């Protein structure tokens, strides 16, 4: 029997493929969720989503929303994969780190959003990504005895 570095049986190729598929779909679903929030805010609600920068207010467009969500999702996936190789408590540790990162990330919109509506939209974007990524990526984690 093949084992991983922690002495557990290595996942079968079909299990590993299913886990990768679940995680890829989680990242894509989070990106779709943040885009839905952004489009709802900028379209029907007519909100100008802007952040403060040294050169003045900068608009937050759909490309920035996609890039940030994809980056966060892929970073979360990579951390979970690393933890799975190093510890038996990967899912619990990853969930704790992911929730902490989400909470810390909420400071950005609060301090950098231009106006109440933009700040609320930015907070909603962060929460939409977290609400999808944390449970779905975590669900794709390997269960430990």
Q: What is the 3-state secondary structure (H, E, C) of 69-130?
A: HHHHHHHHHHHHHHHHHHCCCHHHHHHHHHHHHHHHHCHHHHHHECCHHHHHHHHHHHHHHH
How far apart CA 11 and CA 8 sit, in angstroms, is: 9
In the numeric block, which tokens belong to residue 19? 């886990």
What is the pTM assigned to this prediction? 0.83
Q: What's residue 116's pLDDT?
A: 94
pLDDT > 60? residue 144: no
Cβ-contact 109, 45 below 8 angstroms: no
Task: Give the pLDDT confidence of 68-125 residue by residue, as tens digits.
Answer: 999 999 999 999 999 999 988 889 999 999 999 999 999 999 999 999 999 999 999 9
CA nearest to 90, candidates 9, 25, 20, 144: 144
Task: Give the pLDDT confidence of 124-134 residue by residue, as tens digits.
Answer: 999 999 999 99
CA nearest to 23, candidates 80, 61, 83: 80
Band of the pLDDT at 16, cuts 50, 70, 90?
Answer: confident
pLDDT > 80? residue 10: no
């Amino acid at each position: 029997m093949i084992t991983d570095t922690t002495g557990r049986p290595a996942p079968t190729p079909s299990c590993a493929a299913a886990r990768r598929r679940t995680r890829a779909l989680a990242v894509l679903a989070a990106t779709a969720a943040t885009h839905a929030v952004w489009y709802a805010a900028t379209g029907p609600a007519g909100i100008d989503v802007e952040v403060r920068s040294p050169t003045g207010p900068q608009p937050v467009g759909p490309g920035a929303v996609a890039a940030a969500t994809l980056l966060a999702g892929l970073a979360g996936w990579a951390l979970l994969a690393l933890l799975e190789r190093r510890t038996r408590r990967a899912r619990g540790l990853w969930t704790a780190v992911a929730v902490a990162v989400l909470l810390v990330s909420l400071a950005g919109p609060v301090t950098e959003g231009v106006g109440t509506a933009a700040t609320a939209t930015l907070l909603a974007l962060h929460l939409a990504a977290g609400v999808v990524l944390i449970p779905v990526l975590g669900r794709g984690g390997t269960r430990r005895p």
